[in-house]
Structure 1
């Protein structure tokens, strides 16, 4: 359903994404891992058409989306929703209105200016919030919610677009371990229950192993690993991150159990 062919993005002499090729034959949850600057975010931005590719193709159901313009491009961006690390909500706007902004691509300019939303869309937005466990916060300002709750609002906004693909760029990077797990569980349920493809840039190995069906590792703009979570060994992770034997998975963990175990080992090492 999705095929990326030799996708490349250059910024002057710097090649951010270097001839990446990935094929996704069926809906699945995919994690992309790699060190900062590996090209993960640029890859997702090209898929969503927030950034134009320098060369290569992105084929979805046989159509090259890199060539789309105008209304067709906006239509693709509705099918391929994007979730960001910093939520990108309107802080002083109530939660349900933030969610309803997911319908802006199919509404008139006048309706958008005056926030005129159909009653059916309002009910659907509340149903989505309820599904994500935050319906009681619908009338509150977005800025009144915790980071984890705000990210779930951002997920709800993406679902309002009824997308076939959800791209999540470091969706849990700014969250504490408990909220990170809630957000990842929400994305996993969306994949399993709706049959949507979810592609998430992640900064922790345990998260990729726990929630993803497939893991892609990037280094210096190229894909250096593409396999199952079981194949993502510590040795393989060192290669993906360009690290030496001192590399520790616990240092990048968001799993509470892993963090507790690492803390216990540190206390034991100093005799506390």
Structure 2
């Protein structure tokens, strides 16, 4: 389905994405991990055509999407929906209108300016919100919702595009563990139930292992790991992050755990170190 060949993005003499190649042969949930500046976000922006590559190819279903222009490019951006860390909602607009913005590419400026959406699309938006457990907030302003609820609105907006691929750029980075779990479960459910490819940039190893079928590790713009969750050992993670022996996964965990259990685990880790 997706074939990435020698993909490179340079900013001056610096390669943010450096000769990246990999193939995904079926819809999967992919996690991309790595330090800040590893090239994860740049890769997603290239795939969604928010920025142009310097070299290489990115083929989806046999078509190099990096060469698309005009309407073909806009159609691809509808097929390849993007979810951002900061939600990118219109704060003072009601939730259902924010979701309906996922259809902007299919309507005239007049329709979107005056919220003149077809009734069928309004019902579809509410159905999607219901699927994500937030239909009761449809009439509220987006700014009145919690961070986790706003991220689910952003997911609903992406689903309104009926995309083949969903890209999620650090979708849980600004959320507490409970909301992070809710958002990741929603993305996983979308993959499982709809058969959509989901590619998510993630910053915690436990999240990648728990929700993803395949994990790609990036360091300094290059792919340094490509494997299953089981293959992502602590030693491999140290290499991805360029960390030393003192690297601790617990420091970045989003797992919801009892406080006493966390303290006990930290004490045991300290005892082992001694």
Superposed CA offset, 1:204-229 (max 9, x none): 00000000000000000000000000
Question: Counterpart of 2:18 in 1: which secondary structure?
Answer: strand
Superposed CA offset, 1:30-56 (max 9, x none): 000001100000000000000100111
Taking the aligned partners of 2:260 and 2:116, their CA distance within structure 1 comes to: 49
Question: Counterpart of 2:66 in 1: which secondary structure?
Answer: helix
Which consecutive unaligned segments of at least 5 residues does structure 1 have?
none
Question: How far did 1:116 drift?
Answer: 0.9
Equivalent in the alignment of 1:137: 137
How many residue pairs get aligned? The number is 270
Equivalent in the alignment of 1:33: 33
After the TM superposition, list the runs of 4 or more consecutive aligned residues in structure 1 that deviate by more than 2 angstroms: 257-270
Alignment of 1:40-79 (within 5 A): 40-79=40-79
Question: How far did 1:259 drift?
Answer: 6.9
Taking the aligned partners of 1:260 and 1:34, their CA distance within structure 2 comes to: 30
Taking the aligned partners of 1:179 and 1:74, their CA distance within structure 2 comes to: 32
Do 1:10 and 1:16's aligned partners in 2 also have CA atoms closer than 8 Å?
Answer: yes
Taking the aligned partners of 2:242 and 2:23, their CA distance within structure 1 comes to: 25
Do 1:253 and 1:259's aligned partners in 2 also have CA atoms closer than 8 Å?
Answer: no
Question: Counterpart of 1:152 in 2: which secondary structure?
Answer: helix
Equivalent in the alignment of 2:179: 179
Alignment of 1:1-272 (within 5 A): 1-257=1-257, 261-266=261-266
Do 1:250 and 1:259's aligned partners in 2 also have CA atoms closer than 8 Å?
Answer: no
Question: How far did 1:109 drift?
Answer: 1.9
Distance 1:178 1:133, change over 3 A: same
Distance 1:110 1:10, change over 3 A: same
Question: How far did 1:113 drift?
Answer: 2.0
Taking the aligned partners of 1:88 and 1:99, their CA distance within structure 2 comes to: 11
Question: How far did 1:267 drift?
Answer: 6.3
Query: Structure 1 length as normaliser, TM-score?
Result: 0.97
CA RMSD of aligned residues (A): 1.4
Distance 1:85 1:260, change over 3 A: farther
Query: Structure 2 length as normaliser, TM-score?
Result: 0.96
Taking the aligned partners of 1:38 and 1:8, their CA distance within structure 2 comes to: 13
Taking the aligned partners of 2:225 and 2:80, their CA distance within structure 1 comes to: 24
Point out the more displaced range, 13-22 or 155-164: 13-22
Superposed CA offset, 1:97-129 (max 9, x none): 000000001111221222210000000000000
Taking the aligned partners of 2:41 and 2:50, their CA distance within structure 1 comes to: 11
Which consecutive unaligned segments of at least 5 residues does structure 2 have?
none
